[in-house]
Chain A
Amino acid sequence: MLALSQATPEVVAAAAGPAHWIWLAVALPLAGFVVNGALALWRPTAKRAVSIIGPGVLLAAFGVVLWVTRSVAGAHLEEPIVVHLWDWIRAGELHIPLAFQVDQLSIVMLLIVTGVGSLIHLFSVGYMREDEGYARYFSYLNLFVANMLVLVLGDSLPVLFIGWEGVGLCSYLLIGFWYQDKANADAGKKAFIVNRIGDFGFLVAMFILWKALGTLTFREIAQVAPGAFAGGSAVVTAATLFLILGCTGKSAQIPLYTWLPDAMAGPTPVSALIHAATMVTAGVYLVARTNVLFALAPMSSTLLAGIGAGTAIFAATIGLKQYDIKKVLAYSTVSQLGYMFLGVGSGAYVAGIFHLATHAFFKALLFLGAGSVIHAMHHAYHATHSHEDAQDMRNMGGLRTAMPVTFVLMSLATLAIAGFPLFSGFFSKDEILASAFARGASEPVYYLYWVAGLAAALGTAVYMARLITMTFLGGNRTGAKEAGHLHEAPWIMTGPLVVLGLLSVVGGAFNLPAFIGGHAGLEQWLEPVLAPAARIRPAMMPHGATEYLLMTVAVLIGLGGLWWGYRMTSRATLVPAAKAVPDTGFAAVLNRKYYVDEIYDALLVRPLLRFSEQVLWKEADQGGIDGTVNGVATVARALGRVGSWLQTGQVGLYLVLFLAGALYVIHAVTR
């Protein structure tokens, strides 16, 4: 896929042929949404049709993407292929066509979204089989993928924004999928509202860019921005800061990360697809897409890297003391997203995208593995009519014998995320840390970020080892009656896991560094897209001895963390959740997530609610608006009462008035 032959016009033209069919990749899942939605409304029992259509359209979209990729791969495009569909907005000078952009970056994202998406759709066939809302589930999932593809394909910020909002909507719908439980509906609402704050930032950034540059398409921004903005100027810094606000919302970074752990209320494959592999990485993608702006605003980049590093260590520590298997993975996702932002903030966009890709593999695998575990636990408890928590790791233990496939695959994913040498996460995480360290030479604050990143790597290894130990090793704590009901998931669920396991192990090959004989494939592949930023603020990489030293440190920390997490957990006396004593001291603080939700609740949510109730509702709405409406009515009625005095019902008076009027008219006319 990485032919470096100089692109001739004929080759590019040949590549443009299939690329113009890229809209099919969006249209297919959209059609799946319509059909599955119709089935959900009128034939919810037609599960066999849904099982074929739901994953089928995704596999077809994946096929389209592969076909386009094959045609583009040989061409070595310098310019993106823009597929103009129709004019969307025409207002004065604002002219926004609905156009898709096929270039190296969108190809990478397309492959991840449709590839990992297909696997997760297949897994869902097994996981959601017995759910009443099976058709509804797949229609939402298809709609999500369609929106996600619009997001990565959009050739301008507004088109990207369609997808950005669309995936937010689908996220809301799927988090609250089991809406009969109010907690789930609340979690969906929280995700939606927190994301609105970020979307506000996105919108303001668009306004600023339109005002300053007069264009919103990525291609023109990359051309115009270096001339229009001086490096570090106020306007571009403001625009990027608002973009960062948007990214912190969508990609769950400090201070807007709180929705993501709650989003685990949705079905587990949803967590894998939306809240690990694709949607939450949209912020990283957006930064990479607008790389030229971030290169022009070093202050924003530094802030972004700081947010990333801070979130990485913060979320990793919370993950240490969670007992819900999905919550651990949720905080792990927040933490890993922090890594990606540390990467793109350091100017190492390739490293950020690389980690995005490898994270999509191993985190999707971890979530689906957790789904497989929860599936088994749920069945076991269902069989014995127990109401224990099927997601609490304290109720698991020793599942390796019952679920060997899931155990092996999740262990592989754990090694990948902990940065075990030669696994995919090792390369991508190492690259991010190395670039942050190298940036430290010119901007010392990056050394601090690097330390935070290393600490987060330690935390990651510890909580993942803890997760594996509590879930799969030791003795079983599910219960004597239940233990016999624990069983491995069917092949439709383990199959996608195997593929993801393979990718988690060898995913590093996509961007193999030079020192072990690779040629940094992804870096060369993305070079044309990232060239505008590279000219202004090139990524920095350590070389020689420093590189090896950094790598050794990272590996030692990862291995040490794994060992530590295993020892700590296996030595602790674990009891089922029902009999567990609450944590005390700092462990309790971690378990309660630093009380951030409580603090937000006290500082923002409740004052806002009280303000809404006391001022907006009782004063402004009931007093002001209702008062105005009722006041108008009162005045009208009073005037009417005055007017009704004339209506005596006496014909004589009417006639007198009539005569007076007639005389006046005659007088006026004849004067």
Chain B
Amino acid sequence: MPVFAPELIGPSLMLSAVLFCIGVAGVLLRRNAIIVFLCIELMLNAVNLTFMAMGQLYGMSGQVIVFFVMSVAAAEAAVGLAIILSVFRHRATVDLKHVNLLQG
């Protein structure tokens, strides 16, 4: 039985915006690959929260998309962590400042 709580839509969107901005800031500012990775996850989940909140107004499809996002995020986590792991094996660091092979 779905809960209908229109009064929560505003705060939910606000929370998701805050979370997203934290994620963006973290991605841009932090140099530790793990943290950057976590911030990306944070952004994904902020978006998920938006979908949930808007689903209140536009029906179930928003909530269905959340499941897709979560499954893609799981796959992405596996790939991303694997990359970080192999970077660490090669360079003994996950500091992005030192991962600069593409420097022109």
Mark A residues whose CB is within 8 Å of B.
Answer: 643-652, 655-656, 659
Contacts and interface: CB of A to CB of B under 8 A. Distances in A.
B81 interface: no
Interface string B79-104: 00000000000000000110111111
Interface of B: 24, 27-29, 31, 36, 96-97, 99-104
B103 A649 contact: yes
Contacts of B96: 650-652
Query: What 5 A-B pairs are tightest by C-beta distance, nearest first?
Result: A649-B100, A647-B104, A644-B104, A649-B103, A649-B102
Given A646-B104, A652-B29, 14 more contacts: A647-B104, A648-B100, A648-B104, A649-B100, A649-B101, A649-B102, A650-B96, A651-B96, A652-B31, A652-B96, A655-B28, A656-B28, A659-B24, A659-B28
A659 B97 CA distance: 19
Contacts of B104: 643-649
A261 B96 CA distance: 83
A475 B104 CA distance: 91
A503 B27 CA distance: 105
Nearest to B29: A652
B103 A651 contact: no
Contacts of A643: 104
Contacts of A647: 102-104
Contacts of B24: 659
A160 B96 CA distance: 78
Contacts of A659: 24, 28
A659 B28 CA distance: 9
A662 to B, nearest CB: 10
A647 to B, nearest CB: 3
Contacts of B28: 652, 655-656, 659
B103 A648 contact: yes
13 contacts: A644-B104, A646-B104, A647-B103, A648-B103, A649-B102, A649-B103, A649-B104, A650-B96, A652-B28, A652-B31, A652-B96, A655-B27, A659-B28
A398 to B, nearest CB: 89
Nearest to B100: A649
Contacts of B31: 652
Q: Which of B27, B102, B103, B104 has the most CB of A within 10 A?
A: B104
B71 to A, nearest CB: 24
A648 B36 CA distance: 18
B27 to A, nearest CB: 6
Contacts of A644: 104
A266 to B, nearest CB: 64
A262 B88 CA distance: 82
Nearest to B27: A655
A656 B96 CA distance: 14
B27 A650 contact: no
A656 B24 CA distance: 10
B94 to A, nearest CB: 12
Contacts of B97: 650
Contact of B100 (A646, A650, A655, A656): A650
Contacts of A652: 28-29, 31, 96
A643 B24 CA distance: 26
Nearest to A648: B103
B7 to A, nearest CB: 27
B20 to A, nearest CB: 12
B100 to A, nearest CB: 3
B28 to A, nearest CB: 6
Contacts of B100: 648-650
Q: Which of A645, A647, A652 has the most CB of B within 10 A?
A: A652
A657 to B, nearest CB: 11
Nearest to A650: B100
A643 B97 CA distance: 21
Q: Which of A644, A646, A655, A659 has the most CB of B within 10 A?
A: A655
Nearest to B96: A651
A650 to B, nearest CB: 6
Nearest to A641: B104
A652 B100 CA distance: 11
Contacts of B102: 647, 649
A656 B27 CA distance: 9
A55 to B, nearest CB: 74
Nearest to B36: A651
A619 B103 CA distance: 41
A658 B7 CA distance: 35
A592 to B, nearest CB: 70
A643 B104 CA distance: 9
A646 to B, nearest CB: 7
A645 B104 CA distance: 7
A172 to B, nearest CB: 56
A659 B29 CA distance: 13
A193 B96 CA distance: 70
Contacts of B101: 649
A650 B100 CA distance: 6
Contacts of A656: 28
Contacts of B27: 655
A626 B100 CA distance: 38
Contacts of A649: 99-104
A659 B26 CA distance: 13
A268 to B, nearest CB: 72
Nearest to B101: A649
Nearest to A647: B104
A515 B88 CA distance: 117
Contacts of A655: 27-28
Q: Which of B31, B99, B102 has the most CB of A within 10 A?
A: B102
Contacts of A651: 36, 96, 99
A566 to B, nearest CB: 92
A654 to B, nearest CB: 9
A644 B24 CA distance: 26
A651 B94 CA distance: 12
Contacts of B99: 649, 651
A652 to B, nearest CB: 6
A361 B28 CA distance: 99
Contacts of B103: 647-649
A189 to B, nearest CB: 53
B34 to A, nearest CB: 13
A56 to B, nearest CB: 73
Nearest to A654: B102
A553 B70 CA distance: 119
A647 B31 CA distance: 18
